Chain A
Amino acid sequence: GAVVSQHPSRVICKSGTSVKIECRSLDFQATTMFWYRQFPKQSLMLMATSNEGSKATYEQGVEKDKFLINHASLTLSTLTVTSAHPEDSSFYICSAKGLFQYQETQYFGPGTRLLVL
């Protein structure tokens, strides 16, 4: 149990375009989802936290108009990188938590590699 998927696993886009990354909890209801960014050989940096049906809470320094997060259902959250630029290239990882046995730990997705040309 507690499987989280991300789609796509990797994406290449042109500078100025927008990219949407999906994060799904496959076998539990994710009341809270987290979005992280990881630079090469570095740790995970939390970008934002979202609760189903509510606006996301962004960490200091993260542009909410650039990184749009939607958590419209208990199994799906999306991160849209708007007007992407090369400096947005990174590894984006989501995690999810739920209720009962799923509330003690964050369950991580496999990540999405974004390359902006």
Chain B
Amino acid sequence: AQSVTQPDIHITVSEGASLELRCNYSYGATPYLFWYVQSPGQGLQLLLKYFSGDTLVQGIKGFEAEFKRSQSSFNLRKPSVHWSDAAEYFCAVGPPPFGNEKLTFGTGTRLTIIP
């Protein structure tokens, strides 16, 4: 069975500091990986996705993520956070996205930014 673990429930960083959000997955085949961001009371916005190729993926809002197959990880990073980055971040894994694939989401990491 597939699963996603986000070990950090809540992270607080200072504005301008670097950020890394951890994501580990368990999947029986080639994983397709996603990071979504959710602002309070809002739906999910796709930050980036990895299907194949270069293991360092660039996304929107200055985010990037690195796929490490040997560690079953897909950590999200940003060199310098902004106050507007405060939100809930979800990592998700799924099968090839060409059908009725079901995404499995992690439990999320809440990011707080302090001035």
Interface residues of A (CB under 8 A from B): 4, 6, 32, 41-44, 46, 49, 51, 57, 91, 93, 95, 97, 103-111, 113
Q: Report yes or no: A113 in contact with B41, Cβ–Cβ below 8 A.
A: yes
Q: A104-B97, A108-B43, A109-B43 are in contact. List 14 more A-B contacts (CB 8 A).
A: A4-B43, A41-B108, A41-B110, A42-B107, A42-B108, A43-B107, A46-B103, A49-B100, A57-B100, A91-B41, A103-B98, A105-B46, A106-B103, A107-B46
Q: Report yes or no: A49 in contact with B43, Cβ–Cβ below 8 A.
A: no
Q: Count residues on chain B whose CB falls below 8 Å from chain A CBs.
A: 22
Grouping DSSP codes into helix (H, G, I), strand (E, B) and loop, the A interface class, with mixed when no group exceeds half, is strand
Interface residues of B (CB under 8 A from A): 34, 36, 41-46, 49, 51, 90, 97-100, 102-103, 105-108, 110
